[in-house]
Amino acid sequence: MRTAETFVEKPRTLAELQAEIASGRTKATDLATGYYDRIAAVNPRLNVYLSLTKERALEQAARVDLAAARGDKLGPLAGIPVGIKDVLVMKGAPATAGSKILEGYRPPYDATAVQKLEAAGAVLLGKLNCDEFAMGSSNENSAYGPVRNPVDTERVPGGSSGGSAAAVAANMAVATLGTDTGGSIRQPASFCGVVGVLPTYGRVSRYGLIAFASSLDRVGPLAANVRDAATILGVIAGHDPRDATSSPAPVPDYASESDKGAERLRIGVPAEYFAEGLDPEVRSAIEQGIAALEAAGCTVKPVSLPHTKYAVPVYYLVATAEASANLARFDGVRYGYRSPDSDTLSAMYSHSRDEGFGAEVKRRILLGTYALSAGYYDAYYLKAQQVRRLLAEEYLRAFAEVDAIVTPTAPTAAFKLGEKTGDPLAMYLADIYTVTASLAGICGVTVPCGKTAAGLPVGMQVLAAHLNESTAFRVARAVEAAKV
């Protein structure tokens, strides 16, 4: 029998692990224990996990082992160790959203995506660090300290799902769930050298997600390879009557779809994503990825997305306005942190929010409240929504001509810890290539596409039309296979 340590030291694909567990050569309980041993050894250095759900995980692993011993048909994720970003709730487990204001909160229910993972047999290891309320591009905004990039611990892992990306990159989970509002799965996946998926808005239920911006938030998987990510998405996708924005469209077999290859697909390359500000090493890696797609039988052609230049200001108006409304519920009354130094109700509200929220969250609440205030709503929030519609229409026109669009995921590789914390605008510009897809509601996958001279990963973003994740996976698999 192979030991759990064998699999923890050398990452395995979902298919390999499933075969080992189904045959009895590896016990799910041993595998889970091996991952907990690795977390104990590595987490103090990387600060990836905020809390562990060991009792629940080992109970699930024992159920999988019993089913395997009986010869029962196992779920698609039976025994697979998975980590959960701490903005998704799990019954009885801490749910901090990376914020002091939710300190001590233990929700009484599971998020739908969490329920679906467990129903498929996944072993849920614990909750992963993230930027506070998913607001950030570096995972330096967490009230519980920054996550470090496993590739280079002096650099950021990206944000806000930095813990989710770092957990996969450091083999502290086989796969993870993250959330993406303006790039929060794709950018950290790029920085850490893993695969990250932005599903179409509504493809995965948001029930049980602690909200940041409700018209933008999405739940998606991160994994070490494209097929594993496709498998995870196939499990968590689908209609949920508890989420009014959830799509009723049937869920394809994404893993099988990703096997079809990319030959004869039409690939669009937008000039707007290769302009000033793109690091030369990143450009070179992406150009090599595009050449690999041509060699795989794709047709490459230019497309135009001229409203891209407005995407960052539009995003930071829409997202902050929605954050202002969503975060009004955290007031020290019902749950979470309450300031002890208040003698009136008004003071308790004010002090609890001032002491409980971090600087970046307070900045975004103020920006959003201003944009929604009387006299400014039409000039800012309404105008931003109008430009958002123009961005979405540009993508619709582009996808009438091409099957997918490829771009850099981020303008640079991972930057140093502390490098941009003093300049919020520079930090916001790290999202310049990801926010357009978020605003348009389309889907995408980021896949590793080469490295810089310093050995830092570069990610290629593959975008596809609404509910067309299958095509994005096919293109991403072709880039992955080329080993750029």
Identify the CA nearest to 273 among candidates 473, 480, 459, 479. Answer: 459
> Is the Cβ–Cβ distance between 83 and 164 less than 8 Å?
yes
**Tokens representing 246?**
């959830």
Q: Look up 85 and say whether it is catalytic.
A: yes
Q: Do you find a cis peptide bond into 23, omega within 30 degrees of 0? A: no
Supply the DSSP string of 216-280, one letter for each residue.
T-EEEEEESSHHHHHHHHHHHBS--TT-TT---SPPP-HHHHHTT--TT-EEEEEGGGGSTT--H
Question: Which helix (H) or strand (E) covers residue 300, if one does?
Answer: strand 299-303
Q: Look up 184 and say whether it is catalytic.
A: yes
Sign, CA dihedral 91-96-97-101, equals positive
CA distance 72 to 384: 53
Identify the CA nearest to 127 among candidates 99, 157, 158. Answer: 99
Question: Which helix (H) or strand (E) covers residue 346, if one does?
Answer: helix 345-356
> Which of the following is catalytic: 138, 164, 184, 324?
184
Question: Which helix (H) or strand (E) covers residue 114, if one does?
Answer: helix 112-119
Q: Look up 451 and say whether it is catalytic.
A: no
CA distance 54 to 34: 12
Which residues lie below 8 Å from residue 443, measured CB to CB, with a gap of 6+? 197, 198, 199, 200, 203, 437, 463, 464, 465, 466, 467, 468, 469, 472
The residue to which tokens 């009387």 are assigned: 374
> Which of the following is catalytic: 99, 138, 160, 438?
160
Sort strands 123-128 and 81-85 into parallel, antiparallel or unpaired.
Answer: parallel
Question: Helix crossing, 311-326 with 359-372: angle to 10°?
Answer: 100
Supply the DSSP string of 51-75, one letter for each residue.
EE-HHHHHHHHHHHHHHHHHTPPPP
> Which of the following is catalytic: 27, 85, 116, 420?
85
CA distance 4 to 81: 12
Which backbone phi and psi does 205 adopt, to 5 degrees? Answer: -60, 140
Residue 465 DSSP symbol = -
Question: Helix crossing, 14-23 with 226-236: angle to 10°?
Answer: 70
The residue to which tokens 């954050």 are assigned: 323
Supply the DSSP string of 147-164, one letter for each residue.
--BTTBTTB---SSSHHH
Q: Name residue 368's amino acid.
A: G
Catalytic residue IDs: 85, 160, 184
